[in-house]
Structures are given as structure tokens and as C-alpha cells.
Structure 1
Amino acid sequence: MSHLETEWIQQAIQGNEDAFAYLVELYQRPVYNLCYRMLGNAQEAEDAAQEAFWRAYQALRRYDPQRPFITWLLSIAAHYCIDQQRKRRIPLLDLDLLPEEDIPDGAPDPARVIAERDSQEQIHQLLKKLSSLDRAAIILRYWYDFSEEEIARTLSLTVSAVKSRLFRARRELAERYQIEMEKPLVGRRANETTSTV
């Protein structure tokens, strides 16, 4: 965290709305991206991100400066998204789960692009089948590099519960992925087509 960022946080805690507006501008992309990966819908993600910032603003005085601000903010957003998922209990829409840093530049080999796209499609279809808490744990760990302790704090779980969830979710994803890969290619394509309609 930069010195300027720390200063803005302190000013925001003291009630400076301009300082908080700066923090919103600084963190709006990672907060929106998390909400989008959790909810799978651009409009819902935008609403969730706004709600997360509003909740953060209301809770600023309870923020612990020993904790990274972005981690605290993403925790608020993740909690809100999990609540939204529990309320609606409907299948998620397609998620864009490829982290920004992994998006290839230039003009890569077309065969590799198709293979990577198919693989990402399989992964995000499989992630949609996890429970909301398991999905949140996986996304926070592998897309946002949260530690197990940070995930535990975010999801109000024990560290051992997080380890158990991550282990179980990874195993479930691996098993489902293996089953999908063993299906004939034509069958997989047909399933993908029907699942996105």
C-alpha cells in the first residue's frame, strides 16, 4: 500500500468524502471483477459493487489498518455476493473467469487459442456447480491470491474449514473435469450449447 493510499484511507475514516471517492476510483475494477465472477451478470455485478462500497463507507470506522484495505473491501463484496446467490437460488450465468494477467497479447496460435478457450469454458461451467461458499473460496484463492487465513476471515470460517473446502472443491473440480474430458468432443460441444441457452 502506498503512502498516498494510506493517507486517503485515514482521511476517509475521518469523514472526508473526496478521499473515499478516490478509493472507490482506485478499487472499483477489482471489486467489480470479483462481483462479476461471483454473480455472472454485468448489471448485478455493478449493483453489487456499488452496494459493497456503500457498506464499506458505513463500516469505515471498524476497518483494521493492520489488514490490507483491498482485502477488507473484497471481503465485503464477497459476503454481499454470497448473500445474493443464496437469495436467488438460480443457476449462474456464464462467468468470465480468465484472470486479466493471463489474457494473451498479440496474435497467438489459433489452435492454442481454441484449446485454451475450450478449457476455460469447461472450468467456468464446472465452477458454477460448486456451492456459493466453495465457489467464493476458490475464486478468492486462485484469482485474488487470498491466503487461507484471509479467506477464513472473509467467509467467517475457521482456517481448517477453508482448507477442507478448498481441498474438496479442487477434488470435485478435478473429478468433474476428468469426466468431461473423457466424453467425446461432439458430446461436450452439444452439452455446452444446451447449457448456455
Structure 2
Amino acid sequence: MLFIYMAMLDSEDEKETFAQIYNTYSQPMYQIAYAVLQDVQEAEDAVQISFEKIILHIDKFLDTPCSKMRSLIVIIVRNTAVDLMRKRRSIPMDFEDEAVQTALDLTACDEDHMNREMLVHAIGQLKEKYASALELKYWHGFTEREIAAFLNISAKAANSRLVRGRVMLRKLLEQEANQFDK
């Protein structure tokens, strides 16, 4: 399968980056997809679709540091799996899975570690659709159009999720700050 994906890429940098992603993340991607879908074939489909999305946006992955790469890939495969579940089973989804949340755990190496932890914690409390949009925008630097493509929604819906997510995030951070002051 890797050979087929590699044929879709142009430059050696793209091929090298994709091969690294494939070799490092294909198994964790499958585990995440399976945790959501609970079906072997559907999980494999979700991983394949996720790899196709990665190929379409491979330029975004060329300079992405390893710490951000993992969270970005988790967002892509998780949302792809949820989309498949909704389409194939027509079941409304409010997915909370400890394994996926653990996979999203981001660590910071800078002096602003405490603020980042608070931010990560607050984003983790948001509904998944808002959290994913915010993570793609602010941790990975994607545009609204790119976010829309990754989440399989319109650009207008991506914008709406970002606006609503920021409002909810602001409220959560204010509540945490008020609790901290007490």
C-alpha cells in the first residue's frame, strides 16, 4: 500500500516525509480508528482515507515538528473515523475515549508550560468538533479552508466552529482563572 501512496507524491522530500508518517503512525492510526468504529474493515477504511488526506496536504507536514505531527494525525484519523461512523451507521456521535484523549496529550518544552497546560486542559473540555478546529488552527497553523477539508465540512462551518470554540474557550479559561483566584 505504501508504494501506491508514494506514487501519488512528487518530490523526494514529500516521499520521505510520507514514508516516515506511514511507518511511524499507521498502527496507532488504526488503533484510534478501531476505538471509534469497533470494526476492522471500517477502521482500515478510515486509515486509508486519512492517508489520502495527508497526501493532499503533504506540504503542511514537511516542516511540522514531531510533537505537533502526532496530534495532527490523531485529529485527522479520529475525525475521519467519526465521519465514517455517522455516514455508515447514521448514529449521532458524542465520542469520548480515554485512549484518544491520551493520544492528544500535548507537552510543552517552553517556559510558558503552565499556561499551555491550562489551555490544553480547557480545550479538552470543549466538544470535540470545536476542540479539533481550534487545534488545527492554532497548533498546526491551518487555514479555515484547510480545516474544512480535514474535517469534511464547509469553510463557513469551519469558521463558525472556530468562532464558537474561541468563545467557549474564553469562558472556560475565565472560570478556571476565577477558581484559581479564590
Q: What is the TM-score when the length of structure 1 is the normalising length? A: 0.52
Partner SS, residue 184 of structure 1:
helix
What amino acid does structure 2 have at the position aligned with 1:154? F
Give 4+ residue runs of structure 1 displaced > 4 Å after superposition: 8-11, 19-22, 26-29, 43-46, 49-54, 70-76, 81-84, 90-95
Most deviating of 176-185 and 159-168: 176-185
**Which structure: larger Rg?**
1
Contact residue 140 and residue 151 of structure 1 kept, 8 A: yes
Gap runs ≥5 in structure 2: 34-42, 62-71, 86-92
- Tell me how far apart the structure 1 counterparts of residues 94 and 163 of structure 2 sit (CA, whole Å): 26
* Correspondence for 1:126 among 122, 126, 141: 122
RMSD, matched Cα: 4.5
Gap runs ≥5 in structure 1: 1-7, 33-42, 105-112, 188-197
Q: What is the TM-score when the length of structure 2 is the normalising length? A: 0.56
Aligned to 1:107: none
**Alpha-carbon spacing, 1:13–1:160, altered in 2? closer, same or farther (3 Å):** closer
Aligned to 1:103: 109
- Tell me how far apart the structure 2 counterparts of residues 133 and 117 of structure 1 sit (CA, whole Å): 25
Q: Could you tell me the percent identity over the aligned residues?
A: 22
1:166 Cα deviation (Å)?
A: 0.2
**Alpha-carbon spacing, 1:155–1:119, altered in 2? closer, same or farther (3 Å):** same
Partner SS, residue 168 of structure 2:
helix
What amino acid does structure 1 have at the position aligned with 2:106? L
What amino acid does structure 1 have at the position aligned with 2:19? V
2:66 matches 1:77: no
* Correspondence for 2:96 among 89, 97, 104: 89
- Size of the aligned set, in residue pairs, is 146
2:57 matches 1:68: yes
1:27 Cα deviation (Å)?
A: 6.1
